[in-house]
Amino acid sequence: MNSKVLKVHPDDNVIVALTDLKSGEVIHYQEQQYKILLDIPAKHKFSTKNLEVGDPVYMYGVVVGEALQVMSKGEPITINNVKHDTQEIHPNTEQYDWVKPAVELWKERTFMGYHRKDGKVGTANYWIIAPLVFCENRNIEVIRESMLRQLGYPDIKSQAIDIEPLITAYQKGVDIQALHLTRIGISKKDRVSQMLMA
Amino acid sequence: MTHHLGCGGTRKDAKDLCELIAGYITNPNVAGATILGLGCQNAEQKMLEEAIARRDPYGTKPVFFHEQQQSSSEEQFIEEVIKSTFIGLSIANKNNRSPAPLSKLVIGLECGGSDGFSGISANPALGFASDVVNSLGGSTILAEFPELNGIEQELIHRCENNLLSRRFFDLMEAYSKRAEMLGSGFEANPSPGNIKDGLITDAMKSAGAAKKGGNAPIVDVLDYTEPVTKQGLNLLCTPGGDVESTTALAGSGANMIVFTTGLGTPTGNAISPVVKVSSNTSLYLRMRDIIDVDAGLIITGQATIEGIGEEILEYIIRVASGETKTKAQLLSQDDFIPWKRDLSL
């Protein structure tokens, strides 16, 4: 691609800036020329033609808005010149024909999963401990405290930051600036056990 | 896992909670469960047992129930739960991995913290991967109904029959009307963050979001907590909120979730590994500890949509096989937020 802009669908009347565009720049794209009328930041869109008030705005091949003001080719769309609009919904009457992607290379691929008795396959093997009601949350937390670490499961507690340096600095009576500059981080002991478990 | 439901609400919400938990227990990523009840709560044990039985009629998953109001002290209760969980783990430990075809994948499709590139890079790449999985006989799930506001016609066109398109339309209408009744309809203008990032209208945002579903025909339309039973692309009614929707995807059977983001978000899921795909390279470089795959290379022209789609598939296979942990897993992001649809009483 390596282009500065992108028209997502052939029916679209807006084009996306993939990078910041400058006012006055001329963009050459799909055998058309677009003079950019204002600075347009990346991710924003500009009109591909002059639009009248009430004209539909197309993107992704569908109506995504309606022009609130007269707009010129190359002008960015904003909340001031476009409002939300869509095509009216009607029941489906046409057949949907789908072009499947080529999947030959994936047909023989497998993943190593947990085969369950009902024929489904899991990508993990969790045991759930859950409450039927919020009254039991505290007990769940106690069970979590009691079991996770001792069984060697990764636990958020091992990511806790060691704040001892902050406490020490505070007790020494340092000022706020110095407190900001104090270095704290995951405790060495936990870093080691994290590395062992990973 | 913990949550804030189970009582003090409507019967419907209590039932939804039981259906969701049953969906989690019968998800293929789960070996079994220990369930703690108080005893008097709305979400009764028998409601959960019934929901499990409907999904798993032969009772193939071990589930141990404990009720606090039948115990003599909190300590004694907890000891009982720990012992039965320990026994459960010893049972689960007997399970081992073995080869499975890609048709056994059930991929939840998710986007959050979207930017103006999401619909052009990450979402189409994920859509390609989704089409491949569906072509191989697997399933994928597109959810977040409020984020499909404006793109309904295209999805209706892709429904395999009129019953499905009717159901989709009805679920969207019902949800949309509820939102309007509460004074916050689906069409509420995109957020300031969205607008700054070039998502000028809601329809533009939705059209980009729907790209995650690729081009496959829609084989089923599910309400919240209903399980995926058909191979192919499924639609699931959930809110747009990141954690409520990923929670629902796992509850309906997703054994893997792929989550595209333009602005960055760390969230994961308690039982279904969440793969994060960035829509732009600047995010990938800046937040290496929460992003797994970079689709920003599509924007710079260094990769194609199909190329990144294939990279996502390769990553999915590695994570599904236990060879790689996702960034969300490494950070212990076991997020779980059930959707509360009704009010507190």
**pLDDT tens per residue across span A33-51:** 999 999 999 999 999 999 9
Say if pTM beats, i.e. exceeds, 0.90: yes
Alpha-carbon radius of gyration of chain A? 29
So what's the pLDDT on residue A197?
Answer: 45
Q: Summarize the confidence of residues B266-282 as an average pLDDT.
A: 97
pLDDT band at A156 (very low <50, low <70, confident <90, very high): confident
So what's the pLDDT on residue A191?
Answer: 59
Long-range contacts: A92-95, Cβ < 8 Å, 24+? A92/B156, A92/B157, A92/B159, A92/B162, A92/B165, A94/B157
Alpha-carbon radius of gyration of chain B? 20
Q: Searching chain B, which residue's CA lies closest to the CA of residue A134?
A: B4
CB–CB of A127 and B25 under 8 A?
Answer: no
* Structure ipTM: 0.95
So what's the pLDDT on residue A198?
Answer: 42
Rounded distance, CA B59 to CA B26, Å? 10
Q: What ranges do the domains of chain A cover?
A: 5-84, 113-197
A5-84 folds as: 2.30.130
Range with the poorest average pLDDT among A22-26, A84-88, B53-57: A84-88
Rounded distance, CA B198 to CA A19, Å? 12
B187 min Cα distance to partner chain A (Å): 8
So what's the pLDDT on residue A1?
Answer: 44
Q: Summarize the confidence of residues B268-279 as an average pLDDT.
A: 98
pLDDT tens track for A62-116: 999 999 999 999 999 999 999 988 888 888 777 888 999 999 999 999 999 999 9
Rounded distance, CA B309 to CA B124, Å? 8
pLDDT tens track for A141-152: 999 999 988 898
Rounded distance, CA A146 to CA B230, Å? 41
So what's the pLDDT on residue A188?
Answer: 63
Residue appearing with tokens 């259906």: B19
- Closest partner residue to B33 (CB to CB) among A77, A84, A127 is A127
pLDDT(B105) > 50 = yes
Please report which helix (H) or strand (E) contains residue A121, including its range. strand A121-122
Question: Which whole-number Å values give the CA distances from A49 to A57, A71, A72, B222, in the listed order?
Answer: 11, 8, 6, 41
Rounded distance, CA B100 to CA B97, Å? 9
Q: Which two tokens stand for residue B240?
A: 């747009």
CB–CB of B36 and A6 under 8 A?
Answer: no
Interface of A with B in 143-182 (CB under 8 A): 143, 146-147, 151, 154-156, 159
CB A80 within 8 A of CB B216: no
Interface of B with A in 59-98 (CB under 8 A): 60, 68, 74, 77-78, 81-82, 85-86, 88-89, 92, 95-98
pLDDT(A193) > 90 = no
